[in-house]
């Protein structure tokens, strides 16, 4: 008897395109496809012009025949996972048919508050409707799950959970060896928006360390200040496209050579660049804001800073980390292990399927639902 769960996957973004929504739906789909305890079916015509055809496809998807060896085995789906596609959570009619999981990383209000993104009030209504219709709602952080409960009055707390998103890399790098002595110390900052991501604080912290006699270099990927020359010990590489082999090699080389990832971000949801740094054995020193506490376990894969921390506070923290070399080596090794066990898409798929298999009322008390709550 085949007791595998029959899982559908439907997304408003093309899950076969690594460029679509930063590749998140694509990596989700790949991770689910690697599991041998489910039968996976992708719903929707993913081809050129597919966006205009999604709604009609959604309405008729039950009538679409399956292809491949599972065609005869899958008569009906148990669950449908719908990532970052609020408007496509259908209204349930009776108990028959699959249940639906709404997966997302932010509420519209959060995008307005923290990113000044011009989402409309209609977006709030769409999101609230998705929360009401879905059988499970899974956010990428406990922080965002809490915001959803606060923003959408009457939301059913029993079905709202948090599971960290995964690392958007095709493969986890091999375990890194011991880091070379920090002489000089190599810091790395990655963020497109220099101001919002706290680039000035990172650069000034680097300068403070050097003035204190701690030889330090900062590599900056993404954003640039108006006058890069004012930061003498910083190297600005600009934006690196992971889809280009040359840029990808430079990014991974920069990460593998770094000792610490520094991100004094002023506004963030769940920046998976933390996992990218951890995957190269690089602990994070980062502001505790948004859902970041869901990504960083204090002393295991990095350290959380108060959102009001200035450059001197960052320099103090970095100096303390370096003062204990055995402790730093353990932190670097622990960062890789934490990423492998908690911040990959395989870990996301593992926790997602485990949550689906459990009764939602009981699952809210489980490690999966509870590890990121608060």
- Residue 315, domain CATH: 3.40.50.2000
112 and 211 co-located in one domain: no
Q: Quick one: which of 175, 128, 197 has its CA closest to 334? A: 175
11 and 127 co-located in one domain: yes
Residue 143 is assigned to a structural domain of this protein: yes
pLDDT at 122 exceeding the cut of 50: yes
16 and 141 co-located in one domain: yes
Q: Is the CA virtual torsion 17, 44, 171, 358 positive or negative? A: positive
φ, ψ of residue 217 to 5 degrees: the values are -125, 145
**Of residues 54 and 309, which shows the higher confidence score?**
309
Q: Which domain holds residue 99?
A: 5-166+344-370
**Of residues 374 and 351, which shows the higher confidence score?**
351
Residue 176 is assigned to a structural domain of this protein: no
Average pLDDT over residues 90-108: 82
What's the confidence (pLDDT) of residue 94?
61
162 and 232 co-located in one domain: no
Task: Give percent of the chain above pLDDT 90.
Answer: 60
Average pLDDT over residues 54-60: 46
Residue 12 is assigned to a structural domain of this protein: yes
Residue 190 is assigned to a structural domain of this protein: yes
Residue 333 is assigned to a structural domain of this protein: yes
195 and 334 co-located in one domain: yes
23 and 129 co-located in one domain: yes
What's the confidence (pLDDT) of residue 111?
86
Gyration radius of the chain's alpha carbons:
22
Residue 174 is assigned to a structural domain of this protein: no
E strands present in the chain: 5-9, 38-42, 79-83, 99-104, 136-139, 160-162, 185-191, 216-222, 234-238, 260-263, 284-287, 302-305
Confidence at 1, pLDDT banded by 50, 70, 90:
low
Tokens (6 digits) for 193: 């928006």
Residue 216 is assigned to a structural domain of this protein: yes
pLDDT at 107 exceeding the cut of 50: yes
Q: Which residues contact 286 (CB under 8 A, 6 or more apart)?
A: 261, 262, 263, 264, 265, 274, 292, 296, 302, 303, 304, 305
131 and 249 co-located in one domain: no
51 and 139 co-located in one domain: yes
Residue corresponding to tokens 């008390």: 365
315 and 361 co-located in one domain: no
**Of residues 310 and 268, which shows the higher confidence score?**
310
**Of residues 344 and 267, which shows the higher confidence score?**
344
63 and 161 co-located in one domain: yes
Average pLDDT over residues 217-224: 95
324 and 220 co-located in one domain: yes
Q: Are 89 and 102 spatial neighbours (Cβ–Cβ below 8 Å)? A: yes
44 and 124 co-located in one domain: yes
The C-alpha atoms of residue 261 and residue 251 are separated, in whole angstroms, by 13
Residue 178 is assigned to a structural domain of this protein: no
The number of domains in the chain is 2
pLDDT at 367 exceeding the cut of 80: no
């Amino acid at each position: 008897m085949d007791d595998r769960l029959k899982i559908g996957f439907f997304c408003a973004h093309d899950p076969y395109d690594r460029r679509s929504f930063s590749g998140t739906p694509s990596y989700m789909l790949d991770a689910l496809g690697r599991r041998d305890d489910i039968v996976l079916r992708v719903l929707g015509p993913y081809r050129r012009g597919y966006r205009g055809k999604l709604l009609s496809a959604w309405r008729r998807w039950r009538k679409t025949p399956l292809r491949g060896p599972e065609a005869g085995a899958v008569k009906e789906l148990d669950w449908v996972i719908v990532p970052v596609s609020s408007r496509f959570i259908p209204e349930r009619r009776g108990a028959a048919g699959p249940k639906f999981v709404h997966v997302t990383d932010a509420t519209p209000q959060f995008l307005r508050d923290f990113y000044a993104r011009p989402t409309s009030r209609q977006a709030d209504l769409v999101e609230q409707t998705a929360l009401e219709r879905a059988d499970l709602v899974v956010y990428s952080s406990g922080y965002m799950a809490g915001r959803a409960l606060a923003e959408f009055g009457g939301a059913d707390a029993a079905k709202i959970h948090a599971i960290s998103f995964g690392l958007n890399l095709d493969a986890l790098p091999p375990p890194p060896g011991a880091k070379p002595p920090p002489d000089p110390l190599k810091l790395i900052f990655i963020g497109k928006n220099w101001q919002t991501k706290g680039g000035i604080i990172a650069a000034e912290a680097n300068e403070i360390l050097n003035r204190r006699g701690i030889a330090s270099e900062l590599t900056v990927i993404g954003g640039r200040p108006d006058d890069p020359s004012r930061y003498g010990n910083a190297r600005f590489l600009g934006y690196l496209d992971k889809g280009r082999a040359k840029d990808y090699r430079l990014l991974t080389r920069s990460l593998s050579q770094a000792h610490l990832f520094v991100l004094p971000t002023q506004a963030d949801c769940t920046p998976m660049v933390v996992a990218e740094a951890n995957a190269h054995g690089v602990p994070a020193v980062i502001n505790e804001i948004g859902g970041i506490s869901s990504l960083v376990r204090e002393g295991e894969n990095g350290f959380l800073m108060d959102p009001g921390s200035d450059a001197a506070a960052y320099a103090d923290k970095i100096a303390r980390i370096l003062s204990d070399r055995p402790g730093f080596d353990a932190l670097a090794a622990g960062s890789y292990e934490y990423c492998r066990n908690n911040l990959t898409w395989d870990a996301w798929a593992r926790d997602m399927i485990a949550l689906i298999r459990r009764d939602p009322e009981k699952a809210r008390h489980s490690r999966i639902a509870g590890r990121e709550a608060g």
